[in-house]
């Protein structure tokens, strides 16, 4: 996969999956717009890429703010020449049930995880059309397909992303714009470590995350980035409106793997 001459915009590029994705595109010769609301980490990713001989610029942006998005997309085009690829990756996690979640938290999650992807796509697609098409990849979650407890806003926002990619994929298929989604399991990023830190015994939470996956470990950000980059590439030219689980088998295991661990031989009753 070679992205020479292509411009890739990655939201949440300052940390975790977005940072790994920005690095991966740059290593494959794309010019990368690193978008993040955290200036320190966003600048850090862009500087690191430039330090390795790649092309990257940092754009400070809160994707949930319509005026900021409308202002920033033209800046990306002016500085990098256009937009071919958009990775709507930035997201936040908040915990609560439908009764314990405040309206403010509900809106915060929806505005970042869902509306942010809508706004970025809305402003980036006209720029893609000027270049004959493009590719959009969203970061959903295994919680796009199933639910974890006490995460009502997050689960709902991630399910809605599947609707968004399908609707967008259909509307823009004839314009040579493909829209897909990755659905990661637990990935070792600052977000996951923050979630674990909310519990009395974070190490036990991380160990449980490892056990949760049939492969016996949580994922690394690079393992998600590889799939994002593939979906954005010409190798995925006939894939659109699709979601790909990157979850070490998590979604195929009914009730987890503990009932009978694989590889222990046949059981007799
Ligand atoms: N880590 C996991 O286990 C996991 C699993 C499934 C899905 N995901 C999803 O993957 C995506 C990335 O997660 P991560 O674990 O790398 O998170 P992270 O918190 O480690 O990094 C997210 C980055 O996005 C930025 N960001 C957050 N809100 C923003 C906003 N409004 N505008 C611009 N930038 C913003 C943050 O500053 C940060 O740099 C998220 O959409 C998340 O829901 C993560």
197 burial via Cβ count (<10 Å: 0-12, 13-18, 19+): exposed
Structure tokens, 105: 């938290």
Segment 89-107 mean pLDDT: 98
Q: What is the pLDDT of residue 258?
A: 55
Tell me: pLDDT of 266 over 80.
no
Q: Which of 239, 179, 224 is nearest to 22 (CA)?
A: 224
Q: What is the pLDDT of residue 259?
A: 52
Higher-pLDDT residue of 96, 260: 96
Cα–ligand 1 centroid distance for 56 (angstroms)? 19
Which residues are tagged catalytic?
Answer: 154
Tell me the HSE value of 62 on the side-chain side, using a 13 A CA sphere: 9
Structure tokens, 237: 């030219």
Strand, helix or coil for residue 86: strand
Q: What is the CA radius of gyration of the chain?
A: 19
Distances (CA, A) of 162 to 39, 62, 168: 29, 22, 10
Ligand 1 pocket by Cβ (under 6 Å): 11-12, 14-18, 36-38, 41, 61-64, 89-92, 112, 116, 139, 141, 184, 186-187, 189-192
pTM of the predicted model over 0.85: yes
E strand or H helix at 58, and its extent? strand 55-60
Segment 192-204 mean pLDDT: 95
Band of residue 262 on the pLDDT scale cut at 50, 70, 90:
low
Tell me the HSE value of 58 on the side-chain side, using a 13 A CA sphere: 21
The 10s digit of each residue's pLDDT in 42-85 is: 999 999 999 999 999 999 999 999 999 999 999 999 999 999 99
Which of 11, 22, 91, 107 most suits a substitution to test ligand 1, by most atoms within 8 Å of the C-beta?
Answer: 91
Cα–ligand 1 centroid distance for 11 (angstroms)? 9
Structure tokens, 137: 């990849």
Tell me the HSE value of 171 on the side-chain side, using a 13 A CA sphere: 10
E strand or H helix at 180, and its extent? strand 177-184
Tell me the HSE value of 118 on the side-chain side, using a 13 A CA sphere: 17
Q: What is the pLDDT of residue 267?
A: 46
Transcribe 242-259 into DSSP letters: -EEEESTTGGGSTT-S-S
Band of residue 268 on the pLDDT scale cut at 50, 70, 90:
low
Question: How much is the mean pLDDT over the chain?
Answer: 95
Segment 10-37 mean pLDDT: 98
Tell me: pLDDT of 150 over 50.
yes
What does DSSP assign to residue 101?
S
Report the C-alpha gap between 2 and 30 in whole angstroms: 8
Band of residue 254 on the pLDDT scale cut at 50, 70, 90:
confident
List, in order of start, the domains of the chain with CATH numbers. Answer: 7-250 (3.40.50.720)
The 10s digit of each residue's pLDDT in 152-187 is: 999 999 999 999 999 999 999 999 999 999 999 999
Q: What is the pLDDT of residue 255?
A: 74
Q: What is the pLDDT of residue 265?
A: 45
């Amino acid at each position: 996969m070679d992205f020479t001459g292509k411009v890739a915009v990655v939201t949440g590029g300052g940390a975790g999956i977005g940072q790994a994705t920005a690095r991966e595109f740059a290593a494959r010769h794309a010019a990368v717009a690193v978008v993040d609301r955290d200036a320190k980490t966003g600048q850090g990713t862009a500087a690191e890429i430039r330090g390795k001989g790649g092309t990257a610029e940092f754009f400070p942006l809160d994707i949930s703010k319509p005026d900021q998005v409308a202002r920033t997309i033209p800046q990306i085009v002016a500085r990098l020449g256009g937009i071919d690829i958009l990775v709507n990756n930035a997201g936040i996690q908040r915990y609560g049930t439908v009764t314990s979640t405040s309206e403010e938290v509900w809106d915060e999650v929806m505005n970042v995880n869902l509306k942010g992807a809508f706004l970025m796509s809305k402003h980036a697609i006209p720029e893609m059309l000027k270049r004959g098409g493009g590719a959009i990849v969203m970061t959903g979650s295994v919680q796009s397909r199933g639910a974890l407890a006490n995460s009502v806003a997050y689960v709902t926002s991630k399910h809605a992303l599947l609707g968004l990619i399908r609707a967008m994929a259909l509307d823009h298929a004839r314009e040579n714009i493909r829209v897909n989604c990755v659905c990661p399991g637990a990935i070792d990023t600052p977000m996951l470590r923050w979630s674990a830190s909310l519990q009395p015994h974070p190490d036990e939470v991380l160990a449980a995350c490892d056990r949760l996956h049939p492969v016996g470990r949580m994922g690394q950000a690079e393992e998600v980035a590889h799939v994002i980059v593939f979906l954005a590439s010409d190798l995925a030219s006939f894939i659109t409106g699709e979601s790909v689980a990157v979850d070490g088998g998590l979604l195929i295991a009914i009730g987890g793997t503990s009932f009978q661990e694989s590889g222990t031989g046949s059981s007799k009753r």
